Amino acid sequence: MSLLVDLDPRLSALRPLGGFFALRACGPPPRPLVPLAQVYGPAVPGTGPDPLAFRVRKVEEALRAPATRIAVSVAHQGLAARLWSAALGCAVLYGRVPDLDPRLLHWDPDATAPDDLWLTEVRPHSGDTGGVRDTSDEDTAAVLAGAVLRAHLIPLAAALRARYRVAAGLLRGNTASALAGAARELDRWARAHGRPGAAARARSLTAELLGHPLLAGTGVLTGTAFRRRSCCLYYRVPGKGVCGDCCFPSPPGSASPSP
């Protein structure tokens, strides 16, 4: 028997998965938060602090990053992970993809990780006609790509490149890495809670999405393990090493380990 349920007004099924998956979803936020549509737009002089620049500075200071583009990469991957986690979690646990329109999804650039997101209205995505529970993984992946890639991560990457001239390949790699990480956590949770069907669907949807033209060639997925073909630059943070899915086996410039 299917355990899928319709989207509820608070997206309660996401909460047990942890902070990267959960969305605050209960009407307008109680304090002013910036809609992501504004974050992705051009910085407008005289309208207050640029939320994207504010976030990058906050990450840069927290990491004591030796270069701004490191903070840009880390900030980008953090927001990408939140968006993928929420969308993929809904597709797997509810069988529906919510409308994550950037005008509905509000963000606190001053929050600590994971990024604080507030969805002002819970409704199915316009591409989710009749519920993705009744569609193929290929079709569901297309809905997810529209909800996350096209609505958020393409304009976010464009905004970051315009402000900071960070490499497009790095941001594509971050996007793929964030997706793979979300799927790995969802797979782990589903297996631990006796939900093998949910685990299988998380893996299948991720494989479909990584074959999308906007993500194809970013890395290799083997089961739930992902090896990207680019580097997010995190190894350049003082005292840090390479990430688990990095293209480098050890930080560039470091001594090779003894055989």
> Which one, of 160, 159, 132, lies nearest residue 147 by Cα?
132
pLDDT of 42 reads 85
* Rg, the chain, Cα only: 18
pLDDT of 28 reads 86
Determine contact, residues 229/175, Cβ cutoff 8 Å: no
pLDDT of 5 reads 59
The label of the residue with tokens 């589903």 reads 190
Per-residue pLDDT of the chain (259 residues; tens, 9 = 90+): 344 558 998 999 999 999 999 999 878 888 889 999 999 998 777 666 899 999 999 999 999 999 999 999 999 999 999 999 999 999 999 999 999 999 999 999 999 889 999 999 999 998 876 555 567 889 999 999 999 999 999 999 999 999 999 999 999 999 999 999 999 999 999 999 999 999 999 999 999 999 999 999 999 999 999 999 999 999 999 989 999 999 999 998 764 443 2
- Beta-bridged to residue 35, according to DSSP, are 106
The label of the residue with tokens 């001594």 reads 255
- Beta-bridged to residue 136, according to DSSP, are none
Q: What is the spatial distance between Cα 70 and Cα 33, in angstroms, rounded to a whole number?
A: 25
pLDDT of 113 reads 86
Q: What is the spatial distance between Cα 89 and Cα 115, in angstroms, rounded to a whole number?
A: 16
- Between CA 229 and CA 237, with CA 235 as vertex, the angle to 5 degrees is 145
The label of the residue with tokens 């994207």 reads 52
> Which one, of 93, 107, 8, 129, lies nearest residue 55 by Cα?
107
**Beta strand 34-35 with 225-228: parallel, antiparallel or unpaired?**
unpaired
Determine contact, residues 144/209, Cβ cutoff 8 Å: yes
